[in-house]
Structure 1
Amino acid sequence: MMANAKKVIEERKKALTAIKSDTGKPKFGLMDPQMIAEAEKARRIAQLQAQIQEKINAVSINAAVAAAQAHVREVTAKPKPLILDAQGRTVDMEGKEVQLTQRMPTLKANIRAKKREEFKQQLQDKGSEDIAEQTFFDPRIAAKTAIRNKRALKFNEPGKYVALADKMRTKAQLEKLQSEIAQIARKTGITTTTKLALITPTDARDDDVPEVEWWDSIILAEDSYAERSVGKVVFQGGAVTNLVEHPTQMRAPTDPLRPIYMPVFLTKKERKKIRRQNRRETWKEEQEKIRLGLEPAPEPKLRITNLMRVLGTEAVQDPTKIEAHVREQMAKRQKAHEDANAARKLTPEERRLKKIKKMKEDTTLGVQVAVFRVRDLSNPSKKFKVETNAKQLFMTGTAVIFKDCNVIIVEGGPKQMKKYKRLMLNRIKWEEDNIKDGDGNEVPNKCVLVWEVS
């Protein structure tokens, strides 16, 4: 491209010289614009070539300078040979002693550390001088430094928190297992036995007799009952006083593990209000699902009374068909209502279990016992009532029948005992039967509550 440009420039120069030779003056007005543009382009190309050449020359000069500097650094950076004399001192080639350059720390932390070491060394030197001057000095007492040492980092051993977490998990599992055992024991009626088994140590033997019981070790002067056989007991001074010590009140084994709270009963108005709010929330959810298209919109609830108002012109066009449709819809609603009631209805077995559950009570924490005395229990009707009601209430007990003294003993929960007492003392009419006493006189029969415990 450069050769073509030079060729074009030479041709234009020849043309210009030819024009000048003809007229003596250049005729710029007669020049072709294309020739002027090509001449400008050639000028710019020549200028760019000159700039490129200058940059290449500058880069080569800089490279040569850098190479020379690198060579000088390599020459000067070579370590000088280390020459030691007979005394171990560093000397040069002529045998003169040379002081080696010492590296000083540049980081702030290293500088502070070096100053701290120098200061400690000065304190130790000063302390040793002071100690040498003192007459009385105990070397076992450590001298306190004037500066406060920084607290060092303490790293935990690997696995420390893992072991701690394992211990916490094991403790939680043990508590859960104990609670499950307590619930099972409460259901089976062995709560007290289980608690005593938990309290009693497993490795203790029945034949181990301590030298002194723990309640006597506080007041006895000796650690044995050796002097008791002689009839002389030595007490500690001030152990026995006229003060009364009240022991710490402990929970009885029959008390419930959890506090019993009185249930809160709502009034009729409050129950209606809660039911109304729940029904409204359910209706809102259904409407929202219908708006979102999750459920289809329900059909209009048709009845015979609102037939004309809901359907309008459709009811007028074919009244018989619309009435049949309405009655079919009413029957469908009635059937759905009855099916829902039947689904909620308990089976005979479920009804029996529900009644049994309602009548039975938890007697693991305490049992109520009552003893009744009846003058005469020969009436089979009254005897049947006494026995059957005890079975229906799931109570246990026994009856002792004699001609003049009949004793009935029953045990059960609070509700069961309340119902049975009402049966024995109020519901059964004992006075209807007349019996003869020891003198042969007729007296009315009666039932008396002799003893009860709750």
Structure 2
Amino acid sequence: MDRHGSPGLAPRNDGGSRIQKAESGADKAAKLAALKQRVSAAIGTSKAKGGLNVGLHPALEDIGQWKPGGKANDSKSGPGSRSRNDSGRPQLKQKPLDLTGPSQEEIKSNPYFDSSLGAPTAKPRQSRQLIFNQKGKYIQQANALRRQAALEALKKKIAAGTRKVGIDEDKDVEKNFVVEAPPDVEWWDEGLIDGKNYDDIENPQVVKIDTDDTIVTRYIQHPVPIEPPQDKNAPQPKPMYLTATEQAKLRRQRRMADLKEEQAKIRLGLVPAPPPKVKKGNLMRVLGEEAVKDPTAVEARVNREIADRHTKHVQANEDRKLTKEQKHEKLAANQEKDAQKGLHMLVFKVNSLANGQHRYKININADQLSLTGIVIMHPKQNLVIVEGGEWSIRHYKKLLLKRINWTENLPTRDKDAQNDALKQWLKAETEEGDLKDLAENQCKLIFEGEIKSRAFRKWGSKVCETDTEARDVLSKSKMENFWNLAKSTQ
């Protein structure tokens, strides 16, 4: 088979084919027209059919083509008109997006719609109506204020006259318990607010925080540390208690150590050797032959030594006892030490102090326990105010509430009966000479608490005929509120 002679698509290798002739202008124009025809045919086929011989989407048909804009094109395609593309299919114009909100029917039917999230609806503005004051309105208010001022002046005048006469009404007791209104500006805010109240607290020009005269600075004040006052009230630690066996063992060891020390001193000749301790039990063992020779003399000697040892023991105990003055000094020191741990106050209300023994016990126990306070004796009620250390206060409280029988009444002593200054309501007998019935008499504790310092310098008593006198006596120590408290206690 001759490969060179066969007509094929491969280029020829002859010499003639390598020589290219110059093409004329007509041939070039013909080739360009043929090329354009092939390109237009390919573009038309691609518009008609896409991949896999499927037609293109109408929205993709106009890609790559320029459409002139203007009123002419707009007039041809109206809102309801249809346009046809090259493929002959009708093209619908898209509707604009609806941005209006839901209707009222849709809102009511939708269970997930929240009307509070919508835009606030504008309410129609309503004009205010003019309100005129009635004739005589402020005149009536002024007259009411004048009547109130006149009433207050009358009350003050009556109260002044009542104090002069010495008569107090029980209905005025409740007024003493009225709590005062708070101040307009607290004392800790006076240096931070440039005003008389808190009305302009939001105004930065009134608040003195960043100003030059402010009390708030960048410096830190370290206060001097003070020991807490409750530490002195803490009880002393109690020693550990030992059992009887442990106490005996400890005593035996201590006595053995003392005996060894005494024996060492005797060996060194520092102290003389003690005589033998002869008792009736060890008589024969200690004395031996001497006891056999004269037992009567030996027994008498042993009895004398036993008596001497007992006498020395009793004398040593007497020497260790404190004298009367030392006992008083020790008691006063203990009471002062008890008061330094913290002061306590008790206030008692006693219905009647007609029994003289009750008054004596109240006064003598307060004096013995180094308590300070006062006893107010009144025809209707009696007030006992005491203050002192915890130990003394506890014993005095037990005295008034448990030990004294307040329903007991005894005849008045001769000394008190001869006293003309003693009031009739302080005597145990009535005007007819019979003993008063104290079956309803009782003592109540109306106040108990700790205080910072003593309000009274000593213990005393005062007889007051009226409430005014009692309040005046207590007002010196700022204790008049206890009288009102006692009157309100049943």
TM-score under structure 2 normalisation? 0.39
TM-score normalised by the chain length of structure 1: 0.42
Higher relative contact order (CA 8 A, sep 6+): 2
